[in-house]
Amino acid sequence: MNDSKVLKYVEDFMANVKAKNPNEPEFHQAVHEVVESLAPFILENPVLMKNKVLERMTEPERIISFRVPWVDDQGEIQINKGYRVQMNSAIGPYKGGLRFHASVNQSILKFLAFEQVLKNSLTSLPMGGGKGGSDFNPKGKSDNEVMRFCQSFVTELERHIGPNTDVPAGDIGVGGREIGFIFGQYKRLANAFQGTFTGKGAEWGGSPLRPEATGYGAVYFAQEMMATKGESFKGKTVAVSGSGNVAQYAVEKVLELGGKPVTLSDSSGYIYDPKGIDAEKLEYVKLLKNAIRGRIKEYAEKYPEAEYHEGERPWSVKCDIAIPSATQNELNGDDAHTLIENGCICVSEGANMPSTPEAVDLFHEKKILFGPGKAANAGGVSVSGLEMSQNSMRISWTPEEVDEKLKTIMKNIHAACVKHGKEEGGFVNYVKGANVSGFIKVANAMLAQGVV
């Protein structure tokens, strides 16, 4: 394919996306990466151009935005913004998490929803893509405040979702506690016990291993990538960022596979434990973050062998494998350079779009193993898909059954990335592989369903 033709296609496409969606840098970033990967494929398939498949895919089917009023513990009225971006339903009901974080805005939710469409397609399960959330900041709020906020949020959202319409789940700031409050209020409003949310508790319709699935999946994906080079986790030093749901279970699986996790972080800084974060220390992190809701620096107060670095990210620590699991754009070009200089051979994204475009370019240039979020972190939504199946069939699989299915899905996603991302000389561009493979299924469904 002629390079200048490809460049022109990408430039024109992005100019249009930017004009239609001004001031949405995260959305532009996510779309740009996909358009770059897909341009040669689309140019070779005029039917996709004629039917404006990618143009339609980058326009959400619907965005719901609403007021979320609630009363704090002092009796003050608080008002937040709530959103649900229903991006694409060509292959199934909208599916994707809810994010509660002060930084949430339409651009961030559109980037997440767009990524989710391709990710969900990669899982091979019948799920469309969506994402939602609020600029509500759960930090420092009491359980009662979080409950009142969740009840107000879902009171508005209820009319737009359903088990065959849109099935939300957790993301940053939305874990088991929040899904419990949301589901409880939803059940009252809908007057039905149904699988409209995933990430539910084990005793009330949740799937075994849903909490573990994203972190475990990111490690399984890294394991698959490393196996292509005859490598494994055994004896490898691993840098993990974040300390929430994804990070905790990534560390757990790394330990199980014989690796040595040495870092964790939150928005205030990171800890480096040169002796390694072992199973007992990980239990403390779970208590600290999921129950006490404290800061990661308390790890270094409890374990004096660890260092705490205020206001920094963990990428200057020497490691073999990196699993960024906090948030978008947390690993930039300089960080990528440092990681590679320090001998890092594999990056598996637990978070969504944690690496900036400069970082991704460098990983590709230096030909290290790089698994983009939409492939590497797809384990979470995959087990959500399995939760939907169990709810529909009114059955429960065992943790072993779910883990087997999760492993198979991650293996298949890896194989699909290799199939569509292998370049001359054998290097696998997993970004291209994930984008092309995820796109084909959604595009075919859209072509079959006409101009909708």
Ligand X SMILES: NC(=O)C1=CN([C@@H]2O[C@H](COP(=O)(O)OP(=O)(O)OC[C@H]3O[C@@H](n4cnc5c(N)ncnc54)[C@H](O)[C@@H]3O)[C@@H](O)[C@H]2O)C=CC1
* Binding-site residue ranges for NAD(+): 214, 245
Q: Which residue in 344, 348, 350 sits closest to 366, CA to CA?
A: 344
Residues present in the chain in total: 452
Q: How many angstroms separate the CA atoms of 292 and 302, rounded?
A: 14
Residue 198 interacts, among ligand X, ligand AKG, none and using kind-specific CB cut-offs from 5 to 8 Å, with: ligand AKG
Name the minimum Å distance from CB 105 to ligand X.
14
Residue 244 binds ligand X (CB under 6 A): yes
Alpha helices, H only, 230-371: 245-256, 279-286, 297-302, 333-341, 357-365
Give Dmax (Cα) for the chain.
Answer: 65
Q: Are 123 and 409 in contact (CB under 8 A)?
A: yes
Q: How many angstroms separate the CA atoms of 40 and 26, rounded?
A: 23
Residue in the block written with tokens 């403390």: 284
Name the minimum Å distance from CB 405 to ligand AKG.
15
Nearer to ligand X, 194 or 267 (CB): 267
| Only segment of 2-10, 63-71, 225-233, 377-385 that touches ligand AKG (CB under 6 A) | 377-385
Q: Work out the end-to-end distance of the chain between its first and last CA atoms, rounded to an integer number of angstroms.
A: 30
The tokens of 190 are what? 């809908």
Angle at 375 between CA 374 and CA 379, to 5 degrees: 95
Q: How many residues bind ligand AKG (CB under 6 A)?
A: 13
Active site residue 441: no
| Only segment of 252-260, 285-293, 376-384, 444-452 that touches ligand AKG (CB under 6 A) | 376-384
What is residue 291's DSSP assignment?
I
Kindly give, in sequence order, each residue whose CB lies less than 8 Å from that of residue 401, ignoring residues fewer than 6 positions away: none
Name the minimum Å distance from CB 28 to ligand AKG.
19
Residue 198 binds ligand AKG (CB under 6 A): yes
Nearer to ligand AKG, 114 or 299 (CB): 114
Residue 200 binds ligand AKG (CB under 6 A): no
Extract the annotated binding site for substrate: 95, 116, 119, 170, 384
Q: How many angstroms separate the CA atoms of 106 and 25, rounded?
A: 10
Residue 171 binds ligand AKG (CB under 6 A): yes
Beta-sheet strands, E only, within 26-140: 62-71, 77-88, 94-100, 129-134
Cα dist. 259→235, 245, 250, 262, 276 in Å?
A: 5, 19, 11, 10, 9
Burial (CB count <10 Å: 0-12, 13-18, 19+), residue 257: middle
The tokens of 138 are what? 């759960």
Q: How many residues bind ligand X (CB under 6 A)?
A: 24
Nearer to ligand X, 54 or 101 (CB): 101
Residue 261 binds ligand X (CB under 6 A): no
Residue 266 binds ligand X (CB under 6 A): yes
Residue 172 interacts, among ligand X, ligand AKG, none and using kind-specific CB cut-offs from 5 to 8 Å, with: ligand X
Q: Are 33 and 431 in contact (CB under 8 A)?
A: yes
Q: How many angstroms separate the CA atoms of 438 and 417, rounded?
A: 9
Residue 96 binds ligand AKG (CB under 6 A): yes
Among residues 109, 288, 351, 409, the one that binds ligand X under rule CB under 6 A: 351
Among residues 95, 236, 414, 432, the one that binds ligand AKG under rule CB under 6 A: 95
Residue 309 interacts, among ligand X, ligand AKG, none and using kind-specific CB cut-offs from 5 to 8 Å, with: none
Nearer to ligand X, 268 or 449 (CB): 268
Nearer to ligand AKG, 160 or 337 (CB): 160
Residue 21 binds ligand X (CB under 6 A): no
Among residues 88, 107, 134, 265, the one that binds ligand X under rule CB under 6 A: 265
Q: Which residue in 263, 256, 257, 259 sits closest to 314, CA to CA?
A: 263
Beta-sheet strands, E only, within 135-256: 166-169, 237-240
Among residues 128, 168, 208, 242, the one that binds ligand X under rule CB under 6 A: 242
Nearer to ligand X, 206 or 380 (CB): 380
Tell me which of 50, 81, 131, 236 is the catalytic residue: 131
Residue 117 binds ligand X (CB under 6 A): no
Q: Output helix, strand, coil percentages for the chain, rounded to the nearest 5.
A: 50, 15, 30
Residues 138-197 that bind ligand X (CB under 6 A): 170-173, 175
Nearer to ligand AKG, 85 or 319 (CB): 85
Residues that bind ligand X (CB under 6 A): 170-173, 175, 214, 242-247, 265-267, 325-327, 330, 350-352, 377, 380
**Rule CB under 6 A: which residues touch ligand AKG?**
95-97, 116, 119, 169, 171, 198, 352, 377, 380-381, 384
Q: Which residues are catalytic?
A: 131
